């Protein structure tokens, strides 16, 4: 079975879970671009009735120790997770990693280099804003970065809004930070093969995150050849027919099916709450038995 392009596949019957969500395997904390501390996120997940949670911050695992402690307090199972920014076939892609050893050198070295490149990107964006007459100091930006080990455009957007350069978070992107705007600098990426290799070396698995409507078949084929283990079928950005489509791909290619809300929180976000998107207990147990 070949991998077709998502936008060429006809809609299939809906198979969205009718049972309660048992596991949310895609969430973020203030250690990357989320708003809640790890312990606060875990508490919120518990309030939503979840039994399993993965904290998948962007390019960092700094929040995992605190999340693990909170999960023990609230009686949740915590799955070690991370979301890595990679490049595949000249396209930017996000990979979700699960079940790895957060202290394995292959992963810690990979992430340390990435954090340095993220900070360099932030400085370049501030420089581009200065060229546009927007006076924003790195000291102010760092206050908004705060505890994050993965600084990026969301932090810069909050700084722009707080300093009165724009009327709000979304306007910061519309005027300065979106791909076609003057403050934009492409996010640092590394080859997908390197990310998958690091995750596997640390004992984990890799799944492509929220592939959406327009992911070309060449990207999935390349990732599969590089050792991809799964696909995030259940995502808040996936309508029912895309869920069906990616489930079909997973079933045809022996790939793991995962899912989560991609929860960030915060006043500017319109996220699904933790646990509104994810895996039912049956789907979680299949994932657990195959991957962890």
Give pLDDT tens digits for 74-117: 999 999 999 999 999 889 999 999 999 999 999 999 998 888 88
* pTM of the predicted protein model: 0.83
Q: Provide CATH 3.20.20.140 ranges for the chain.
A: 22-111+192-291
**Which residues of the chain does CATH 1.10.150.650 include?**
118-177
- Looking at residue 48, its pLDDT comes to 94
For residue 179, count CB atoms less than 10 angstroms from its CB and return exposed for 0-12, middle for 13-18, buried for 19 or more: exposed
* Residue keyed to tokens 């039912």: 280
Report DSSP state, residue 42.
H
Q: State residue 218 phi and psi, 5-degree precision.
A: -65, -35
* Average pLDDT over every residue of 157-174: 92
The class of domain 22-111+192-291 in CATH terms is alpha beta
Helix (H) or strand (E) holding 190: strand 190-191
CA angle 192, 27, 258 (to 5 degrees): 60
**Fold exhibited by the domain 118-177:** DNA polymerase; domain 1 (1.10.150)
Beta strand 52-55 with 23-27 is parallel
- Residue 260 pairs in a beta bridge with 235
Q: Parallel, antiparallel, or unpaired: how do β-strands 256-260 and 190-191 relate?
A: unpaired
């Amino acid at each position: 079975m070949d991998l077709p392009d998502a936008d060429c596949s006809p809609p299939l019957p809906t198979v969205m879970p009718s049972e309660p969500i048992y596991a949310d395997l895609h969430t973020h904390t203030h250690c990357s671009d989320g708003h809640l501390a790890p312990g606060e996120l875990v508490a919120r997940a518990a309030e939503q009735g979840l039994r399993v949670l993965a904290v998948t911050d962007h390019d960092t695992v700094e929040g995992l120790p605190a999340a693990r402690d909170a999960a023990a307090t609230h009686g949740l199972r915590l799955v070690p997770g991370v979301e890595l920014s990679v490049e595949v076939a000249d396209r930017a892609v996000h990979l979700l990693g699960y079940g790895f050893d957060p202290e394995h050198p292959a992963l810690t070295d990979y992430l340390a280099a990435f954090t340095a490149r993220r900070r360099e990107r932030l400085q370049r964006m501030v420089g581009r804003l200065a060229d546009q007459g927007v006076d924003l100091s790195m000291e102010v930006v760092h206050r908004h970065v705060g505890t994050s080990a993965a600084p990026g455009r969301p932090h810069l957007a909050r700084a722009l809004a707080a300093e009165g350069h724009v009327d709000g978070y979304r306007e910061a992107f519309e005027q300065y930070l979106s791909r076609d705007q003057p403050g934009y600098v492409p996010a640092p990426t590394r080859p997908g093969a390197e990310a998958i290799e690091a995750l596997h070396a640390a004992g984990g698995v890799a799944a492509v995150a929220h592939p959406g409507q327009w992911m070309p078949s060449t990207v999935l084929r390349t990732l599969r050849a590089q050792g991809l283990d799964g696909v995030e079928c259940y995502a808040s950005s996936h309508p029912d027919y895309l869920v069906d489509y990616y489930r079909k791909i997973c079933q045809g290619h022996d790939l793991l099916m995962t899912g989560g809300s991609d929860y960030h929180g915060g006043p500017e976000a319109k996220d699904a709450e933790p646990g509104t998107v994810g895996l039912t207990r049956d789907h979680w147990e299949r994932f657990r038995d195959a991957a962890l």
